[in-house]
Structure 1
Amino acid sequence: MASAALGLGAVVALGGCSAGQVTETDTQVAAVSGGNGTVKEIAVRDAQMTFPEHGSLYRAGSSAPLKLVLSNDGAVDDRLVQVSSTYAANAEIAGTTDLPAGTALHADGAQQESGHATTQHEPTSSNAPTASNAPTAQPSAQGGPSDQREIRITLNGLTQDITPGVTIPVTFVFEKAGSVTVQVPIGPDHKPRPEHGTPHGSGH
C-alpha cells in the first residue's frame, strides 16, 4: 500500500513540475486501465477507445475505434461474430475474426478505411443491443507485423458525448463461447500538451 501511494504521488508531482518548459514529462501520460471480461475460455483484455484525434472527447454522432486484445485460452476454435453497444448506432469490424485455440487478435485502435469493414446495425430503439445479421468480416488486405493477428473494431454513431473518465458498455459476441459485456473507457492521450508548446526561458 505504501509503495502504491508513493507511485501516485510521483505521478501528481510530474504533472506540476513541467509548467513553463518542455520536458520529457510533456509526452508522458497517466495510465488508463482498459476494460476486461471473460466468457468461457475467451478473454477481452484492456479494451479502450482510442483518445480522440481532435479535441478531448467524442461528440455524439462520431465514431470511436477500439484498442484491445481478444484471447482464446481454450482448446476450441472460436470466432467473433458481433460487437454492439447501447451507446452506438452500430459497430464495424474489419480484419480477421477467426480466433483459433491458443491464439489472440489485436486491435490497435486505428481508424478504419471506409469500404473495407462489416457494419453491424443496431435496432432503432437501441436501448438494448440484440444480435442481428453478423456476416463474416473479410480478412484485412494488409497483415500485421510478424505473425500478430489483426482486427479493427469501430463504434459508429455514438448516441451522446463521451468524455475521458466515462466508461460505456460494449458487448462482444463469439460464435461458440457466447457474449460478454465490458465497460470501456477512453484511453490515454499520447499527444504532446499544446499549452507547453512555447517554453519560457528557452531560445532567448
Structure 2
Amino acid sequence: MEDRTVKPLKPSAARGALTLIAAGSALALAGCGAGQISQTNTQVAAVNGSAGSVKNVTVRDVTVLVGPDGTGGVKFNAGNNDESGEKVTLKSVTVRNQPVTLEGDTTIQPNCNLVADIAPAIQQLDEDKNTSPKCPTYVITGLTMKNLYPGGHEEVKLEFDKGSVTVNAAVAAPTPEAGQYYRGPNGSVTDEKNFMEEHKQLAEEK
C-alpha cells in the first residue's frame, strides 16, 4: 500500500471546520430542546417580600417590620380574586405564633385588595375614608416581639375565612419619617429617647 503524507489544514480551512462543528452542535441542542419549556421563560418576576395563595386569595409582599424599640408590624397585600362576588375576610395574622394587632376593616371586596402596613405608612395611603364599598381597604398592623432583628426571617401565618397562608417572610426596618429616628454615637439607629440618654451619659463621663 502506498504511503500518503497528510498535510495540515491551512488556518482558513481550520476555522471553517470549527465553524461547521459549532453550527452542528447548536442545531443538535436546538433539536434536543424542541417541545421543552425554557426555565427562564417560566420564571415569575421577583417582588419584594414573600408571597402565597389559598383558593381565590393571593398574598404578596409579606414583610415583618421592626423598629429600634422592638415595635413594628407586618406589611402585606392580600387580593380577593373571587369572580362570583363573594367577599373574603382576614381573621388573624401571627408572627412566630404571636398575634399581630389589626386595626381597620379586614373585609376584602371581590376583585379588590387589602393593604396592610404600620400606622405611618397607612395614614399616608388612606386619605379617603368615606368611600363605600372601599377598595382597597387599609389595615394598620402592630407587633411587639423580642429577639426580632432586620435581616432575619420569620414564619408569618395569615388566616382568612377561606383558609390560611403561611410564608417565611423577611424581617426589615421600616422607612423612618424625617426626625423620627436618630443615629447614636456608635452609629446605630435609635429613637429620640435613647438618643438623648446616650448623649447625656457621654457628657457625664467627660
Normalised to the residue count of structure 1, the TM-score between the two structures is 0.51
SS at match of 1:104: strand
Given that residues 84 and 171 in structure 1 are in contact (C-alpha distance below 8 angstroms), is that contact kept between their aligned partners in structure 2? yes
Given that residues 49 and 186 in structure 1 are in contact (C-alpha distance below 8 angstroms), is that contact kept between their aligned partners in structure 2? yes
Change (3 A) 1:103 1:32: closer
Deviation at 1:155, TM superposition (A): 2.6
* Alignment-derived partner of residue 154 in structure 2: 168
The yes-or-no answer on 1:39 pairing with 2:36 is no
After TM superposition, the runs of 4+ consecutive aligned structure 1 residues lying more than 6 A away are: none
Instruction: Please point out which of 137, 142, 146 is paired with 1:149.
Output: 137
Change (3 A) 1:151 1:189: closer
Change (3 A) 1:50 1:85: closer
Distance across 2 between alignment mates of 1:45 and 1:73: 13
Structure ranking higher on relative contact order (CA contacts 8 Å, 6+ apart): 1
* Alignment-derived partner of residue 116 in structure 2: 107
Deviation at 1:32, TM superposition (A): 8.6
Distance across 1 between alignment mates of 2:113 and 2:47: 22
* Alignment-derived partner of residue 82 in structure 2: 74
Deviation at 1:149, TM superposition (A): 1.7
Distance across 2 between alignment mates of 1:147 and 1:102: 9
Deviation at 1:107, TM superposition (A): 1.5
* Alignment-derived partner of residue 85 in structure 1: 95
The yes-or-no answer on 1:96 pairing with 2:81 is no
Change (3 A) 1:33 1:81: same
Change (3 A) 1:107 1:189: closer
* Alignment-derived partner of residue 186 in structure 1: 171
Structure 2 unaligned segments of length 5 or more: list them: 1-45, 188-206
* Alignment-derived partner of residue 201 in structure 2: none
Deviation at 1:169, TM superposition (A): 0.7
Given that residues 169 and 182 in structure 1 are in contact (C-alpha distance below 8 angstroms), is that contact kept between their aligned partners in structure 2? yes
Tell me the C-alpha RMSD between the 2 structures.
3.5
Given that residues 87 and 168 in structure 1 are in contact (C-alpha distance below 8 angstroms), is that contact kept between their aligned partners in structure 2? no
Normalised to the residue count of structure 2, the TM-score between the two structures is 0.51
Change (3 A) 1:167 1:190: same
Change (3 A) 1:189 1:170: closer
Change (3 A) 1:111 1:63: farther
Structure 1 unaligned segments of length 5 or more: list them: 1-30, 113-139, 196-204
Distance across 1 between alignment mates of 2:112 and 2:47: 25
Change (3 A) 1:111 1:40: same
Percent identical pairs in the alignment equals: 23
1:84 partner amino acid = T
SS at match of 1:101: coil
Given that residues 107 and 137 in structure 2 are in contact (C-alpha distance below 8 angstroms), is that contact kept between their aligned partners in structure 1? no
Given that residues 171 and 180 in structure 1 are in contact (C-alpha distance below 8 angstroms), is that contact kept between their aligned partners in structure 2? yes
